[in-house]
Structure formats: C-alpha cells, structure tokens
Amino acid sequence: MSMLRSAAALAATLGLLELILTAIHHVYGAYAYDTPWRIQVAFYAAIIGALILALSYGAHRWRQGHAGGVLLWLNMAVILVAPAIVIGLVEGGYNHALKNIVYFAGDADLYRQMFPAPTYEVPADWFFEITGTLQFPLGVWAGVMAVMALFRRRMS
C-alpha cells in the first residue's frame, strides 16, 4: 500500500472510529442524563460515516484518475470538518477535556462561566467523561492523517 493510500485509509478509519465513539458517547449520555435529544447525534454520525465509506470507496476505485483525486479531497474535507474539528476539537477538546481540566482545577466561578448549566453536565459519570474526552485525541489524529493524505496527493 502506498503512503498516500495508507494516510487516506488511516484518516478514514480514524474518522469512522471517532463517529462510532461519539455515537456510543451520546446514546449513553442520553440515557444517563435523561436528555433524549443527544440520540440524534448517533444518526448524524451514521450518515457521515456512510458518506466517508462511499467517498473512500470511490477514491480508491478511481484512484488513478481525476475523479479519484476529487473524491479523495472531498473525503478528507469531510473527515476534517466532522470527526476532526466538530467532534474532536469542539466536542472532545472543549466540551470534555477542557471542561474536566477547569472543573478538577477547582475554579468554580470559571467553570460556571465557561460551562453553564444546563448545557454542560458537571463531571460525575466516568464513562461519559472518558468517552467524551477520548474524542479529542482521536479527532486530532484523524485530522492530521487527512491533511497528510492531501499533501501526499498534491506531491504525487
């Protein structure tokens, strides 16, 4: 497998894992916190996952032609926007990693200012917080691999 295809394949795999993790996290959170609106995130994740799979297939199938390059670019853009930025940086990074740091640092006023109720839950459920926080490194990794795939495509 070429370096180009391996970076794109890893980005897609990590993006799909990020979507699975966020679906588990949000469905669990819906039941743990009696917030059924969170379940809709699992449906969005499934749609984005199907799009990543379809674009991955097309980019691989037509990899030698212009269409393959366009599909690869679109796939990496989807991975950068959804799993990397929206889920990884915003949901995992801000909504969980930073929230936990501020909370456990003990600055109650800063915590309430940055993470007001009822939008944010006080860290009280270890499974919810761990799955939420894990979205951050997984999303960053997916994003880095997507960028690498695009640079390698451009250089080839």
pLDDT tens for the chain, 156 residues long, are 454 458 999 999 999 999 999 999 999 999 999 999 999 999 999 999 999 999 999 999 998 889 999 999 999 999 999 999 999 999 999 999 999 999 999 999 999 999 999 889 899 999 999 999 999 999 999 999 999 999 876 655
**Residue 13, C-beta contacts closer than 8 angstroms, at least 6 positions apart:** none
CB 122 within 8 A of CB 102: no
Q: How many CB atoms lie within 10 A of CB 114?
A: 14
